[in-house]
Amino acid sequence: MSNAAQKFYNQDAEIKLLAAILNNGDDALLLIYNSGISGPDWSEGDHRRVYEAACHLYEKGEPVIEASIKAELERTNRKLVNLTILSDYANDGYIAPPDLKWAIDQVRLNTSKRNTFGIVEEYLPEIDKANGSMPELLVKFGEAIGAAANSYSPEITLPNAANLLTQTLAETAWAVPEMLPAGFTILGGKPKMGKSWLALQISLAVCSGGKIFGRDVPQGKVLYLALEDGPKRLQKRLKIQGWDAESAKNLDYLFLREFMAKIGPLHQGGSQALAARIEQAGYKMVVIDTVGRSLPGLKSQNEYQAVSDAFGPIQEMAISHDCSVLGIDHHNKLAGGSGVTPDAVNDVQGSISKGGIADAVWGLYKSRTKTEALLQIDGRDIEEIMSLAVRMDRETAAWQCDGDYYEKKQSEARQAILDALADEGAMLASEIAGHIGRKRPNVTRDMKILVAEKLVNRDPEKKYHLITERG
């Protein structure tokens, strides 16, 4: 290729692609890989060698990181002219999806320009000396140009499942073991139900390396985006929950004004800024309080593309850096209504768009007049939906867990039957139902269990008696 054709390279685009491979994880490499970019498309030998080493690692199912690329280059005896290229590009940090797309388009466009320019150079001498054969020559010239445009589809080798089966992969990272995984989690509920208190309580457990709901929590740094609070309210809440100075050192925070200045609306580029901050600071957990405040101006939270732009980069960065991002959100109008079965995923406002992105969803269901509540947890890495009975401790503003919600409810219902029999003596099932305010079929079902457990017996008149002495 002539020196003139060499001008059709874009160094900035190539650097962004390599930085994305080193910082964004396998998804970035796969996107570049599937675009058809290959070795000859890179202007520098070092760029080409790094890219080809990364592709080879990916095909083998091995992690594509700076250390493994260095090892692959050494193994294949491919030396870099610039020995600091990997560390330099790794320091560029996370590359936002729009920049990655731009860089891919630039590299592909310049490859097409070089190919076309080369064909023009090849045919110019023949055109200069052509006479009557000019029409035929132009046809050949056009065919060559067309072939160059259509030839940009190199064979792509995809990773094979046989390799995947032999790999030793890291276990899922959790901020709260088996409950709050790395990635993006939604904490939904009606307004004023204690969601922010719960998020701050989890933050304290992470910052102090303490416990929540009886589970040991690994210590780490937390970023709390208090978008509905100010200094006085946040300080008051920290004191009520008993934060000490050592734990507080691990808590960074931003109020709405600072969030808008330093990060910005998540659906308008702020997501990339927050993802970069997660990487730079090494947060174990990030709280977005609330999701709605982080998306100012968004007309509908069911706009899938906007929601994907807002939380996709954050989720990707969080998973790759073992960070749990907890977004506090509202339930829709029907959630928690009479006769409506709780569904943590579908009850979230805008669940059509958010449900597909979230790695886990927490749903908090509570009556305003009660301290007890149902906390339902569902997610990709959560084997069975969890239904926890939780209650708010008014003095410490901390949620306490009393075990499985439905088991507790059943236990309470059966205890109410036993208490009624102790107070009133032998009764029919219908009389018990009227006394405790429950439906007769439900009471009859519980009576069978209590009889089987030898806590009550039934006489020939179908009345139930409390067994006071057990043999």
Alpha carbons 270 and 343: distance in angstroms, whole number: 30
* Spatial CB neighbours of 316, under 8 Å, sequence gap ≥ 6: 24, 25, 27, 275
* Spatial CB neighbours of 184, under 8 Å, sequence gap ≥ 6: 311, 314, 315, 318, 325, 327, 357, 358, 359
Q: Is the pLDDT of residue 66 over 70?
A: yes
* CATH for 174-393 (3.90.1010.10, 3.20.20.70, 3.40.50.300, 3.40.430.10): 3.40.50.300
What confidence score (pLDDT) does residue 157 get? 63
Residue 408 burial (CB count, 10 A): 16
For residues 305-332, give the mean pLDDT: 89
Q: Is the pLDDT of residue 241 over 90?
A: yes
Q: Is the pLDDT of residue 299 over 90?
A: no
What confidence score (pLDDT) does residue 58 get? 82
Give the pairing of strands 324-330 and 183-189: parallel
Query: Which pTM was predicted?
Result: 0.65
**pLDDT tens track for 415-453:** 888 888 988 899 998 998 898 888 888 888 888 888 888
Most confident among 28-42, 166-180, 208-222 (mean pLDDT): 208-222
Alpha carbons 310 and 300: distance in angstroms, whole number: 13
Least confident of 3-12, 41-50, 378-387: 3-12
Q: How confident is the model at residue 387 (pLDDT cuts 50, 70, 90)?
A: very high
Q: Is the pLDDT of residue 5 over 90?
A: no
> ∠ CA(441), CA(444), CA(448), 5° rounding?
145
What confidence score (pLDDT) does residue 258 get? 94
Least confident of 2-6, 278-282, 466-470: 2-6
> ∠ CA(302), CA(321), CA(354), 5° rounding?
10
| Sequential DSSP letters for 199-229 | HHHHHHHHHHT-EETTEE-----EEEEETT-
pLDDT, the chain, mean: 84
For residues 109-120, give the mean pLDDT: 72
Least confident of 220-234, 292-306, 369-383, 435-449: 292-306
What confidence score (pLDDT) does residue 359 get? 93
For residues 231-243, give the mean pLDDT: 96
Q: How confident is the model at residue 1 (pLDDT cuts 50, 70, 90)?
A: very low
Six-digit token string for 140: 């050949």
**pLDDT tens track for 133-185:** 555 655 565 566 556 555 545 455 677 788 888 888 888 999 999 999 999 99
Least confident of 323-332, 365-374, 387-396, 420-429: 365-374
Q: Is the pLDDT of residue 206 over 70?
A: yes
Q: Is the pLDDT of residue 455 over 80?
A: yes
**pLDDT tens track for 253-297:** 999 999 999 999 998 888 888 988 998 899 999 999 989 999 998
Q: How confident is the model at residue 28 (pLDDT cuts 50, 70, 90)?
A: confident
Sorted by where each begins, the domain ranges of the chain are: 5-161, 174-393, 408-466
* Spatial CB neighbours of 289, under 8 Å, sequence gap ≥ 6: 196, 199, 224, 225, 226, 227, 228, 229, 328
Q: Is the pLDDT of residue 353 over 80?
A: no
Alpha carbons 232 and 210: distance in angstroms, whole number: 25
Give the pairing of strands 324-330 and 360-366: unpaired
**Between residues 19 and 364, which one has the greater pLDDT?**
364
Q: Is the pLDDT of residue 81 over 90?
A: no
Q: Is the pLDDT of residue 377 over 80?
A: yes
**Between residues 88 and 173, which one has the greater pLDDT?**
173
* CATH for 5-161 (3.10.450.50, 3.30.70.270, 1.10.10.10, 1.10.860.10): 1.10.860.10
Alpha carbons 179 and 189: distance in angstroms, whole number: 17
Q: Is the pLDDT of residue 323 over 90?
A: yes
Q: Report the topology of domain 408-466.
A: Arc Repressor Mutant, subunit A (1.10.10)
Q: Is the pLDDT of residue 414 over 90?
A: no
